[in-house]
Every structure is written in structure tokens, then in C-alpha cells.
Amino acid sequence: MSYMLAASEEQIAQEWQKYNGYTVRPLPSTVDYYRQWFAALKPQQTCMLYGGTPEIRTLFQTFHLPVTMIDQSEPMVRAMGSLTESGLPIAANERFIQWNWLDTHALKNKYDFLIGDDAINMVSWDDFELFLQSAARLLNEDGLFVCHLLVKPDDVLICKTFTEVVREYHCGEIKSHYDLASKLNFICFDYETYGMGWQHTIHTIGAERLNRSLTDFNFVKLFGACNSHFYCPPQKEFENLVERYFFIEEIFYPHEHDYCLYEPVYILRKKGY
């Protein structure tokens, strides 16, 4: 599945730039938290990034750290490069490998530090364990995996109606477009697959209804080219899987918006066997 419904790298970058502050991009507090871990890395440590998140690539550039990027979409990674500090599709410190995150057996290199911003959410819940198992296989002994993900929202948010969300937004209970966008996704959450996403929300609620009810926030225009679909399990179920392969060292929550409650960053250390 393509991340974006856009034809060129330039169009992908232009669309992605619009998503600052929304759930597909790390917030400033998350980036600041990442920066603490980057500052502790030593030049000889090997690093890998799932995908091409611009904010994370800029940190690798700032700290002059080589990084291997793994993703199935080279155009997406190259487009994200134009949004980094270097502005290059692939910077001098970067190496790109086009590869499936779930199939790491053929990758011979091992890493001391892995990081993925919402990457695990891009695979189905049925594949979460395989993703974690693959991440552990890629790590050297005692290696770290910085895993930022979305988890299942509370049922009270999922069970709201579209009319209730619109009313809460118009009366100021939902204070920003960022939380409004997430809460529209929440009411379209699929309990069977743990899935939600921009196209699913537009299809479920209806583009005409969204435009008619939210005249000052064009959800359809904003996310119409974003094809990212997230699989967001209950947090405890996620942690039960994690603990088969990793020790949970720390959990951080960004703090800019209400939706951050469902956006934990896990610091995971590989278990020895």
C-alpha cells in the first residue's frame, strides 16, 4: 500500500509538510526527547531508521551520525529528504535500503540503535510480533529500539458520534484542529483490526458531510492525499508482545495536544537469550 496518493516526490513533500502538528509527524516535545538519546550515541555505534521521517533524519545530520534507512518506498524516503536540514533526497550520512520491515533475515548488518516513528503502526496488528521479533534480530546485544507508536484510544472517544465531535469542536471542548483530526479518526476506529486512517475516516463519515459540518477545517483537502493507515492495539496488549523480546526501559508521552495520550514513545532494550 502506498503511503501517499501523490504522483511525484515534490508533491509528496508538499503534502507531508502540511501535516506538521498532526499525528503522522513527531511533535517538538517528541523531537526534543529523541535529541537526548541521540546526544548519548557514540560515533562508532551503528544506527538504523525505519522509514524516512524528516525530523529524525535531521537529528542524525545534526549529530553527524551515519544511518541506514530501510523502507519499501524509495520515492517516499527521497521526498522526505527535502524536508530535512540538508534538503537532500539522500544525504551524505545516509544509506537507503529498499526492503520489507518484516523480512530481515537476509539483512546481514546488526545495529546498536534502531528508531521508528509510527513505523510499527503501518503493519497489521497480526504482524506486530513479527515486526518486534525482526527488530530484535537486527539489534546487537544490549541494543536499543526507540519505538514511537499510536495505541488504541479510550472507548469513550471511539463511541462518540460525528455529531458529538462536531458539537464539542464548535463549543471549544476540542481546542485545536490537531485534536479534531485525531478525534475524527477515533470515531472510525475498527475494533476488529485495531485500524484507523485518513482515507478510512473520509470514506466512513463522507467527504460531503465533513465539508458541510466543518466549514473552517477542510479535513478532506488536508488529508485527501495521505494514505497512511494505522493499526493501534490496546497499550497493554502491545506491552505484552514487547516483553517477549525487549525490556521496557522508559515510556515518554508528548504533551502538546490531547491526542498525545495515545502516542507513547517506548525505549526498548533487547533481551539477551
Q: What is the 3-state secondary structure (H, E, C) of 64-112?
A: CCCEEEEECCHHHHHHHHCCCCCCCCCCCCEEEEECCCCCCCCCCCCEE
- Whether 35 and 98 map to the same domain: the answer is yes
Q: Nearest to residue 131, comparing CAs of 231, 207, 205?
A: 231
Q: Are residues 33 and 122 in the same domain?
A: yes
Cα(11)–Cα(247) distance, integer angstroms:
40
Look at residue 172 and tell me if it is in a domain: yes
Q: Are residues 80 and 28 in the same domain?
A: yes
On whether residue 1 sits in a domain, the answer given is no
16 and 142 belong to one structural domain: yes
Instruction: Specify the CATH number for the domain of residue 122.
Output: 3.40.50.150
Supply the range of the domain harboring residue 165. 155-231
Specify if 2 maps to a domain. no
Together in a domain, 165 and 225: yes
For the chain, the maximum distance between any two Cα atoms, rounded to a whole number of angstroms, is 57
Q: What distance in Å separates the CA atoms of residue 233 and residue 124, rounded to the nearest whole number?
A: 10
**Residue 216 and residue 239 in one domain:** no
In a domain, 92, yes or no: yes
Q: Is the domain of 165 the same as that of 49?
A: no
Q: Are residues 168 and 44 in the same domain?
A: no
Residue 131 lies in a domain: yes
pLDDT of the residue at 213 = 97
Q: What is the pLDDT along the chain (273 residues), one digit of tens a residue?
A: 578 888 899 999 999 999 999 998 999 999 999 999 999 999 999 999 999 999 999 999 999 999 999 999 999 999 999 999 999 999 999 999 999 999 888 888 999 999 999 999 999 999 999 999 999 999 999 999 999 999 999 999 999 999 999 999 999 999 999 999 999 999 999 999 999 999 999 999 999 999 999 999 999 999 999 998 999 999 999 999 999 999 999 999 999 999 999 999 999 999 985
What is the number of domains present in the chain? 2
Q: Are residues 209 and 244 in the same domain?
A: no
Same domain for 27 and 128: yes
In a domain, residue 190? The reply is yes
Question: Residue 40: inside a domain, yes or no?
Answer: yes
Same domain, residue pair 23 and 108: yes
Q: Is 140 in the same domain as 250?
A: yes
